Structure formats: structure tokens, C-alpha cells
Amino acid sequence: MKVNPELQAVLLCGGPGSRLPELKGAPPKCLLPVGPYPLIWYPLNMLQKQGFQEVIVIVLDSKKTEIIAAIDKCNFKLSIQYVSIPEDEDLGTADSLRLVREYIITDVLVISCDFIADVDLSGMIDLFRRHDASAVALMFDNGPQEFIQCPGPSSKVKPERDLVGIDKETQRLVFFASASDFEEEMKLPRALLKKHPVLSMHSKFLDAHVYIFKKWVLDFLDAKKHFSTIKGELLPFIVKKQLSKPTPNHSDEERLSKKVIDEADIFNFICQDPLDEKIRKFSFYNDHSHGMKGCYNNDVIRCYAYVAEKSSYAIRVNTLPTYCLINSKIMKIWDDIAKDSPLVKIHVNSDVKSKQVDDLTIIGEQSNISEKTSFTSSIVGSNCMVENKIRVINTIIMNNVTLKEGCVLQDCIIYSGATVQEGCSLKLCIVGPDYVIPKGTNGSQQMYSKDEDMITVG
């Protein structure tokens, strides 16, 4: 795979995962187990397979040591630079990106730690190169989200929906907003329809939170301190600015010399290559067939949407339903997602005496599984102790968990350090970190925790 030296990769892992069950003492979101690896492994593996050699990883300062230790076990060949952000500040994705501006010397690819897909990013990168784009966003048309019953008390998680407008001829991303910003009707600017008369509007696209930006976008972001998020603020602003034109008062040379920088004017941050402009002017190439204006409608800001093939699979693991869904599917789609990466279902350092462990079960290192046990489509973390006469079905068991004799677990999530005492039967339950389930407990759709305030769902 070709190396992409003109792009730097930034992996965002600084979010608290507030839309997942958030438990104090639990792993950070990026280290939640998905199949045989932590969640962060999947975007890192994608970047390595794509040919990137270096990645900037943004993490919470308090989780940095834990995250580094987990990534080191994955044996990536990537050179990883960790940039930590303070725990006590409520920083959005744009805030985090602003913090690494000093490390960015080229255009940048930004990817979220909760993104899992089988897509090849080459098409997206080629679209960015081909049109010298200001920004490119990766989109998926996955159809309706699959339903899965989640553990814990019943709750409704309202899915995010975006309104995405794409010029059908040019792939230009010409409209981008959250559906929650509108009620019964949506009005499009006349200037937009005049410039892009044939566009398709989508309300069910998955925004992958994978973006490519020109270097000047980060410079502009640094000047716009009030922009906190990429998806909610920065990208919609840039998309909308495609309808505007730079003021003719100042030359490129003046703007480049920063003599007349106006922080309110995005066009003062754009550096156009005069040679490219001349080539475009004398070329017969035009990206659109309608209208009399030149190539790209003479726009200096150009945003695009790369819509992956419909056969591609992608998911953002940012809610409890999506977390449960990906763990139920990951072993079945492993070859497509992992791209020939090795799969170790039972770690060589574990002692597994049971003969009833199916092919869809993962067992981590230094876990002890007794003989008279049964595991179906489940994940068992590291340093777990499982006694006799235990049946586990579709359950996620994190590290340092003890299951006492005679337990039955179905469709549960058991957090690190928890103990399930003898004779318990749990179905669709969540057990918090270090919590001890009393002997003989029968629970269904319950949430067990030392402190009820430690857990929020949705």
C-alpha cells in the first residue's frame, strides 16, 4: 500500500464516551473490548493498512498510561505520538484538533477512535487530491440500523440524523446540518440551488467522523476559538462558506504576509497556488455541465462527500446499542474488517479446560476457564477466573472478573473487577466495576453498581 506522506493522521481518543454506559473505574471508551482487541485497535489497524507510518493520538491525560500500555500490546509498526488533554476541561473534537495544530505541517486526516469499517480510504484520499479539496467527509449508506436488545434497564436511544446534500454530478458536499436543527420544513438558499440545481438530500447517511482537511483549515480553526466540534460547527461552517466569495480588497500576497488578517474572514487563510489557477483557467476541464461559470464555479472553498460503496460495512461505536451490535457481529465479519490481521481466539497464556467454547468466543490472556463450563458468542478478558458449572451466552466479560460456580449469564456486560457469586442467573444485565453480585441473585434487565450515579445510559 502506498505511503501518504502528504497527509498526517490524527486519531481522536479524548472523549469520555458519554453516550455509552459510563462507569467510574471502567476502561476509557477507546479501550472497551470489541472482539479480540480494544476499540482503538480498529482505526489504528485501518491507518496502518492504508500505508500511514505515523499517527498523532489525542488522549485524556489521566488515561494516557493505560492507553499506551494497551496499544503497545498490539504490536503496531506505526510511530505513535501521544498528545494528552486535561480531564477537567470539557473539550470537543475541534478543541482537541486545535491543541495539535503545532504538530501539523501538512494536510490532515482526522478519524475517531470509535470508527470500525471495512472501507479502503484510498478513494477518499484520491477525491481530496483530485479536486484540491478544502475538506472531504466520509459517508456510508448502510440502510436502517439493525435492532439489538441491550442489557440494563429499558431505554430509548434516539439516533443521530444528519441532513446531507450532495451535488449528484460533482460529489460536492453542499449542505450539512443536524436534522434536529429543523422541525417540519427545511429551506435551502436560492444561491445554493442556482449553483447546484441537481442535488440529492439524504437523512440516513452515517457520517463516519472521518475527515480530510487542508492545513489552512487548522489555521482558521485556531483563530475561531468558539468552534468546539468538528461535525456540529466547523464542517457546516466551511460547507456553507462555499456559497461566498472572498472580498477583492486585498491581494493573496497581502493576505499571506498576514498584514490584513481578519479573523472573521475564512478567505484570508486560504493559500491558492497561482500556477494551479492558471492551469485551471486555460484547461478545458470543467467539473460540471450546467451553467456558464468556470471549473468548480470559481469557488476557492470546495467540500466533498466520499460515499463508500453500499456493500461496505461501517459502524460508529458511540452508543450502547452499537457497542452490543458490533460485538455480536465482529467475529462473523472479521476478515473484511481486519484485512488479514491475525486472529487469536484463545490466548496461549490462558488455561482453558472446557471443551464447550464455540468459534465465536474470545478468551484473553491469563484467564482460567474450568472444565465444566460453556461459552457461546462471548468475550472473556484478561485475568478472569471462571469456576465449574457455568454457562455464558452473548456476554461481554472484561478484565479481572470472577464467576463463581453455577452461574448463568446471557446477554450481559460484566465490567472489570466484578464478581458474580454462586448460583446467580443474570439476563440482559450490566454489572459495574468491582461490584459483587450476591449469591443466588436472579436478575433481568438490571444495572448493578456500587454507586447508581456512576452509570448513565443514552
Per-residue pLDDT at 455: 45
Is residue 164's pLDDT more than 90? yes
Q: With CA atoms as reference, report the closest residue to 198 among 234, 238, 168, 231.
A: 168
Q: Which whole number is the average pLDDT over 20-36?
A: 76
CA dist 401 and 399 (Å) reads 6
Residue ranges of alpha helices (H) inside 257-330 are 274-282, 320-329
- The 8-class DSSP code of residue 145 comes to P
Residues 384, 268, single domain; the answer is no
Q: pLDDT averaged over the chain?
A: 87
More confident residue, 284 or 336: 336
Count of positions (residues) in the chain: 458
Residues 239, 166, single domain; the answer is yes
CATH of the domain at 403: 2.160.10.10
More confident residue, 242 or 249: 242
CA dist 138 and 118 (Å) reads 13
Residue 340 domain-assigned (yes or no): no
Residue 229 domain-assigned (yes or no): yes
* 203-228 residue pLDDT tens: 889 999 999 999 999 999 998 888 99
79, β-bridge pairs: 54
Q: Which whole number is the average pLDDT over 284-290?
A: 72
Residues 96, 166, single domain; the answer is yes
Here the cell at position 357 is 467454547
End-to-end CA gap in the chain? 39
Residues 166 and 174: beta-carbon distance below 8 Å: yes
Q: State what percent of residues in the chain have pLDDT above 70.
A: 86
Is residue 283's pLDDT more than 70? no
- Residue 313: how many CA atoms within 13 Å on its side-chain side? 15
More confident residue, 248 or 222: 222
Is residue 4's pLDDT more than 90? no
Q: How many domains does the chain have?
A: 2
Residue 338 domain-assigned (yes or no): no
**What's the whole-model pTM score?**
0.89
Residues 116, 250, single domain; the answer is yes
Is residue 397's pLDDT more than 50? yes
Residue 203 domain-assigned (yes or no): yes
CA dist 209 and 316 (Å) reads 8
Is residue 65's pLDDT more than 80? yes
Range of the domain at 316: 7-329
- Per the listing, cell 502506498 goes with 2
Q: Label residue 454 by pLDDT band (50, 70, 90).
A: very low
Lowest-confidence region among 122-136, 156-170, 248-262, 327-341 = 248-262
Helix count (H) and strand count (E) of the chain?
11, 31
> What is the CB neighbour count within 10 angstroms for residue 244?
14
CA dist 192 and 166 (Å) reads 11
Per-residue pLDDT at 186: 82
Per-residue pLDDT at 253: 61
Residues 160, 215, single domain; the answer is yes
Q: Label residue 259 by pLDDT band (50, 70, 90).
A: very low
Residues 87, 188, single domain; the answer is yes
Residues 20, 54, single domain; the answer is yes
Residues 354, 306, single domain; the answer is no
Residues 301, 354, single domain; the answer is no
- Judged on CB neighbours under 10 Å (0-12, 13-18, 19+), 255 is buried
Residues 249, 354, single domain; the answer is no
Lowest-confidence region among 12-16, 17-21, 130-134, 318-322 = 17-21
DSSP codes, 95-111: HHHHHTGGG--SEEEEE
Contacts of 215-218 with C-beta under 8 Å, sequence gap 24+, read 215/104, 215/105, 215/106, 215/107, 215/108, 216/134, 216/269, 216/270, 216/271, 217/134, 217/135, 217/269, 218/97, 218/98, 218/101, 218/104, 218/108
Residues 176, 325, single domain; the answer is yes
Q: Select from 329, 363, 388 the last residue of a domain.
A: 329
80, β-bridge pairs: 55
CA dist 449 and 436 (Å) reads 9
DSSP codes, 240-254: HHTT----TTS-HHH
Is residue 262's pLDDT more than 60? no
CA dist 213 and 274 (Å) reads 20
Q: Select from 329, 358, 383 the last residue of a domain.
A: 329
Per-residue pLDDT at 144: 67
More confident residue, 405 or 299: 405
Residue 1 domain-assigned (yes or no): no
Per-residue pLDDT at 169: 87
* 358-372 residue pLDDT tens: 999 999 999 999 999
Per-residue pLDDT at 6: 82
Per-residue pLDDT at 25: 56
Residues 356, 263, single domain; the answer is no
Longest dimension (CA), the chain: 81
Residue 337 domain-assigned (yes or no): no
Cα separations in angstroms, 144 against 69, 150, 160, 161, 180: 37, 17, 12, 11, 18
Residue 336 domain-assigned (yes or no): no
Q: Which whole number is the average pLDDT over 161-172?
A: 91
* Cα angle, residue 34 at apex, residues 30 and 38 outer, rounded to 5°: 40
Percent helix / strand / coil, the chain, rounded to 5: 25, 25, 50
CATH of the domain at 289: 3.90.550.10
Here the cell at position 1 is 500500500
- Residue 64: how many CA atoms within 13 Å on its side-chain side? 15
* 87-127 residue pLDDT tens: 777 789 999 999 999 999 999 999 999 999 999 999 999 99
